[in-house]
Amino acid sequence: MRTQVAIIGGGPSGLLLAQLLHTRGIESVVLERKTKDYVLSRIRAGVLERGMLQLMDEAGCSDRMRAENYSHDGTYISYGEESFRIDFVVLTGHPVMVYGQTEVTRDLYDAREKTGGPIEFNVDDVVINGADGDTPYITYTVDGQPRRIDCDFVAGCDGFHGVSRQTIPLSVRREYEKVYPFGWLGILSETPPVNHELVYSNSNRGFALCSMRNEQLSRHYIQCSLSDSPDDWTDAAFWEELKRRIPTKFADALVTGPSVEKSIAPLRSFVTEPMRWGRLFLCGDAAHIVPPTGAKGLNTAASDVQYLYNGLRQFYESGSSEGIDGYSAKALLRVWKTERFSWWFSSLLHRYPDQSEFDIRIQVAELEFLRSNEAAQRAMAENYVGLPY
């Protein structure tokens, strides 16, 4: 088989890139290791920047997102019994959007199926060959049968555990990493949200977050130990712990119910440089990871996709390689700013095992500064609603 762009990974980055390229008549093949049902069962992002909505518009996939998303004009931050609101619209002119990654991915799969663009599921043994030359090709197997795709370019959209990043030789690749000494235990429940906007909470017992997907579906997280397993936590124990970590006014309003999903995610900050090697380009979690505090992972993947789409479009439409040549530097500039924000917001809200009483006082002082200082709130809000592309 031959295509213009071979896309490794059928998560949101890969699918969005495929649909954007399709609008310009650029062919692609998407290779996904899992099944579609498996990809759609992963509960992840909930808060999206407007840049993501604009890209979904451009890809022709935004009808349901426009109709069903919940626009949030601000967020609440609490510490102990104190809480305050940051008004994104007043401070930046922009809201954020609550619309689950599962729904984004479903919309992108529907669009891909409508346009008849090829996706291969259940692929194994993917190898990217010749990316440092002019004629790259991918070899892989499906049900043990060998396959090959020849292409002009390879987009590595295969997440943190994919093969694309590993294809870049260690002599070229530099990796920067920070692993946090805790995880997030998350549950999804068919219960109304505790508040009309998200509540991020710093408490003596650790971080908590009250989020949602819609008026009848809530998403909650608590900081947990890395040695915990979801089975260690009954639903009753989760709700009890959550109530102890949020101010009484929210705890009293909390409606509890059985969880429909429960999982633990470790927290990590990670960046690989460069994001391009020859004709291979990394996008999204394949190149970088942020801790989920601040909801930046999928949003940063979307900005990578936009830069790469524009570069490839320029190449195919005018023959200029300026956009693809500048891709890595341009993407990394925004990636590092997002890494900084996610690291800062994580540091502000979590309990660290080695934190001293002094460190905790500094955290409270910073929260009080944020509460009372408009410039600090504006800086937070500009990052949260999304830095410009």
- Write out the residues near ligand PHB by the rule CB under 6 A: 46-47, 198, 211, 219, 292-295
Other beta carbons less than 10 A from residue 69's beta carbon: 20
Q: How far apart are CA 62 and CA 79, in angstroms?
A: 37
- Is residue 384 flagged as an active site residue? yes
- In whole angstroms, give the CA distance from residue 270 to residue 13: 17
User: Which residue in 6, 7, 29, 32 binds ligand RFL (CB under 6 A)?
Assistant: 32
In whole angstroms, the minimum distance from the beta carbon of 116 to ligand PHB comes to 32
**Cβ closer to ligand PHB: 34 or 42?**
42
Catalytic residue, candidates 76, 79, 99, 200: 200
Q: Write the binding mask 159 to 188 for ligand RFL: x where contact by CB under 6 A, - elsewhere.
A: x-xxx--------------------x-x--
Query: Toward ligand PHB, which CB reaches closer, 21 or 47?
Result: 47
Give catalytic status of residue 193 as yes or no: no
Helix axes 101-115, 50-58, angle to 10 degrees: 10
If you compute the radius of gyration of the chain from its CA atoms, what whole number of angstroms results?
21
- Can 296 be counted among the known catalytic residues? yes
Catalytic, out of 22, 220, 296, 350? 296
Question: Could you say which of 136, 193, 291, 292 is catalytic?
Answer: 292
Active site residue 243: no
Residue 131 found at the interface with ligand RFL (CB under 6 A): no
Q: What is the rounded distance in angstroms from the CA atom of residue 249 to the CA atom of residue 308?
A: 46
| 241 makes contact with ligand RFL (CB under 6 A) | no
Tokens of 180: 């946090």
**Backbone phi, psi, residue 281, to 5°:** -125, 130
> Which of the residues 194 through 223 are near ligand RFL (CB under 6 A)?
none
Please list, in sequence order, all residues whose beta carbon lies within 8 angstroms of the beta carbon of residue 247, skipping any fewer than 6 positions away.
78, 80, 81, 82, 83, 201
Residue 6 in contact with residue 31, Cβ under 8 Å?
yes
Residue 197 beta carbon to ligand RFL: minimum distance, rounded to whole angstroms: 14
- Specify the amino acid at residue 130: G
Total residue length of the chain: 389
Instruction: Rounding to the nearest 10 degrees, give the CA dihedral for residues 89, 92, 94, 98.
Output: -80
By CB under 6 A, residue 9 contacts ligand RFL: yes
Residue 157 interacts with ligand RFL (CB under 6 A): yes or no: yes
Residues with catalytic function: 72, 200, 292, 296, 384
Give contact residues for ligand RFL (rule: CB under 6 A).
Answer: 8-14, 31-34, 39, 44-47, 101, 123, 126, 157-159, 161-163, 184, 186, 265, 284-285, 292, 295-299, 301
